[in-house]
Structure 1
Amino acid sequence: MTSDKKVVLITGGSTGLGFEITKALYQSEIPYELIIGALVVSDGEDAIAALRKETPQSASSLSLVQVDLTSDASLEKAIEYISSQHGRLDSLVNNSGGSFDLDIQEGRMSLREGFNATWNLNVTGTHVLTSLAVPLLLKSTDPRIVFMTSGTSTLTETENTTNPNSAGINDSPPAGWPKPKIGMPVTGYRSTKTALNMLMREWHRILKNDGVKVWAVSPGFFVTGLGGFGSETLKKLGARDPSIGGQFVRDVLQGKRDEDAGKAIRSSTIQPW
């Protein structure tokens, strides 16, 4: 079934930043076929109900597909569904991801378990899904891929300890071992996001002659469920409302940052590597 509406898949679209991306597009005057990729189907159903209640009138349509980035079978089934229902994909928003650094720090996961889980989810799963989605993207007249990166991923800014927003993760702890459990543990998470920046560059290179626009979007620091830190803790650390990030991604999909394709971008600047 083909449609004139732009077909967009947002992974992790049922909660947090992904929900806000979906909402920003759903409230736009531009019509979309918005596909929420959710790990838990009931979460996706709840998200769709909430969006329809908040915005009863929309030019866009909502649907749901189960997406488990740790399962090739799940990803293959998701792409098969999109192909059968829509015949193409105009935009892929690789939003889904996670952090297990706190689980490592608190002893709920071993270092190997936590690191492997973070890389499998944030990098490997995202790469597999993107690979599977390419044939559908190439059927679009304006194909776009967004990889959600992080301000913590930049190598250059790891030397910055004067900015209050980065000092907590860039400061060196006191001498001795083991190190004290202070600040927000991000070693695994930020490492995967740095890798995701390179993955974006690779897809930009691979698909450049196919006319596919690719970005790594660094949306900002928001109050979400990422890492299990809790909303109050995140607010104290300066996290903002995730709706700001949703509007930013909407703007990218609507062409407002086309000149910055192939780069890691912030809301008004280019993020340094």
Structure 2
Amino acid sequence: MADKPIILITGGNAGIGYETVKALYASPMASTILMGSRSLEKAKSAISTLQSEIPNAKSEIVPLQIDIEDDASIDSAYKEVESKWGRVDSLINNAGGSFDPVMLQKPGAAGIREAFDHSYSLNVTSTHVMTHTFAPLLLKSSEPRLLFVTSGLSSLETCAEGRNPSFAQPIPAGWPKPPAMSAVAYRSSKTGLNMLVLDWVRVLKVDGVKVFNISPGFLATNLGGMGAEALKKFGAGDPSIGGTFLRDVVEGKRDEDAGKVIGKDGIQPW
């Protein structure tokens, strides 16, 4: 590709998104990285930090205000990207969240509805709207890649076989059951995302788009509001692991695994 690749990542100012931008920015392969963020100020601050840490980068980072739960925000971002660059070579659907703690804070129906509704709104519906809106720009690329970020907790096969840590927790008989942080709303939404990815694989195959479902592993981000340090105590790895992994996928190092759920060490069952 003669021009620098245009890479758009949602939720790029924090967590795995930030580490992905950092890995791409430090790469010897030059690119234009569009750091999507709900807050333009937070994006600019994150970019300033990266520029000070990596002074001789070959790439450039551009802040892009985008809230994937806001259709007007998505449309505005689309118009900006279309007018300035005319295409997107890699779209990384990274923005997502976990809202299961709400069910502990609000026991009963209200908490369940809030946790599930927000999880599906952000992780499934809004991700689908984002992809649907930007698909025309992705199809203008000569080497289009579409990435989604799922979870190791989303695999039906893994859960059915009892290999998910949540399924190893002893459950006492009787009702009510004691409260537990099993992340069921988050897990369910990411399983829903997996089905969404399968459909995008089907829809875009004829257009030559390489679609990936990324399972970055258990990493110490602020997902769910627990905090990185708390997650490290449970064995979570550094978020930079996920950033490096996503960069490798964007740069074509896992192209043979397109259409699958991939982790840095292999294939994850659906």
Which TM-score applies when normalising by structure 2?
Answer: 0.95
Counterparts of 1:225-244 in structure 2, within 5 Å, are: 225-244=222-241
The question of 1:177 aligning with 2:186 is answered no
Match of 2:195 among 173, 195, 198: 198
The question of 1:208 aligning with 2:205 is answered yes
Give the secondary-structure state (helix, strand or coil) at the position aligned to 2:266: coil
What is the alpha-carbon distance in structure 1 between the residues aligned to residue 171 and residue 76 of structure 2? Answer: 46
1:32-76 superposed Cα distances (whole Å, 9 cap, x missing partner): 110011012221111101110100111101111111111111111
Alignment check: 8 A CA contact 1:160 1:167 kept: no
The aligned counterpart of 1:26 is 25
Would the alpha carbon gap of residues 172 and 77 (structure 1) be closer, same or farther in structure 2, given more than 3 Å must change?
A: farther
What is the alpha-carbon distance in structure 2 between the residues aligned to residue 42 and residue 114 of structure 1? Answer: 28
Counterparts of 1:10-89 in structure 2, within 5 Å, are: 10-89=9-88
Alignment check: 8 A CA contact 1:16 1:242 kept: yes
Identical columns (%) = 49
In structure 2, runs of 5+ residues without a counterpart are: none
Alignment check: 8 A CA contact 1:160 1:170 kept: no
Alignment check: 8 A CA contact 1:146 1:216 kept: yes
Give the secondary-structure state (helix, strand or coil) at the position aligned to 2:98: coil
Offset at 1:181? 2.5
Q: Choose 80-89 or 100-109, whichever is displaced more.
A: 100-109
The aligned counterpart of 1:7 is 6
1:112-143 superposed Cα distances (whole Å, 9 cap, x missing partner): 12211110001000000000111101110000
The aligned counterpart of 1:266 is 263
What is the alpha-carbon distance in structure 2 between the residues aligned to residue 268 and residue 187 of structure 1? Answer: 25
In structure 1, runs of 5+ residues without a counterpart are: none
1:150-194 superposed Cα distances (whole Å, 9 cap, x missing partner): 000001111454x6xx32454352122222224x33101011111
Would the alpha carbon gap of residues 192 and 170 (structure 1) be closer, same or farther in structure 2, given more than 3 Å must change?
A: farther
What is the alpha-carbon distance in structure 1 between the residues aligned to residue 175 and residue 32 of structure 2? Answer: 53
What is the alpha-carbon distance in structure 2 between the residues aligned to residue 231 and residue 246 of structure 1? Answer: 15
What is the alpha-carbon distance in structure 2 between the residues aligned to residue 203 and residue 268 of structure 1? Answer: 24
Give the secondary-structure state (helix, strand or coil) at the position aligned to 2:7: strand
What is the alpha-carbon distance in structure 2 between the residues aligned to residue 75 and residue 241 of structure 1? Answer: 30
Give the secondary-structure state (helix, strand or coil) at the position aligned to 2:13: coil
The question of 1:249 aligning with 2:246 is answered yes
What is the alpha-carbon distance in structure 1 between the residues aligned to residue 72 and residue 12 of structure 2? Answer: 19
What is the alpha-carbon distance in structure 2 between the residues aligned to residue 45 and residue 185 of structure 1? Answer: 35
The aligned counterpart of 1:127 is 128
The aligned counterpart of 2:139 is 138
The aligned counterpart of 1:113 is 114
What is the alpha-carbon distance in structure 1 between the residues aligned to residue 119 and residue 41 of structure 2? Answer: 24
Once superposed, which parts of structure 1, at least 4 consecutive aligned residues long, lie more than 6 Å away? none
Alignment check: 8 A CA contact 2:166 2:182 kept: no
1:201-254 superposed Cα distances (whole Å, 9 cap, x missing partner): 111110101010001000111111110112232112110000011000111111
Amino acid in the other structure paired with 1:236 = K
Which TM-score applies when normalising by structure 1?
Answer: 0.94
- Tell me how many residue pairs correspond in the alignment: 267
Q: Choose 102-111 or 193-202, whichever is displaced more.
A: 102-111
Alignment check: 8 A CA contact 1:36 1:44 kept: yes
What is the alpha-carbon distance in structure 1 between the residues aligned to residue 116 and residue 166 of structure 2? Answer: 21
Give the secondary-structure state (helix, strand or coil) at the position aligned to 1:37: strand
Amino acid in the other structure paired with 2:27 = S
Give the secondary-structure state (helix, strand or coil) at the position aligned to 1:251: helix
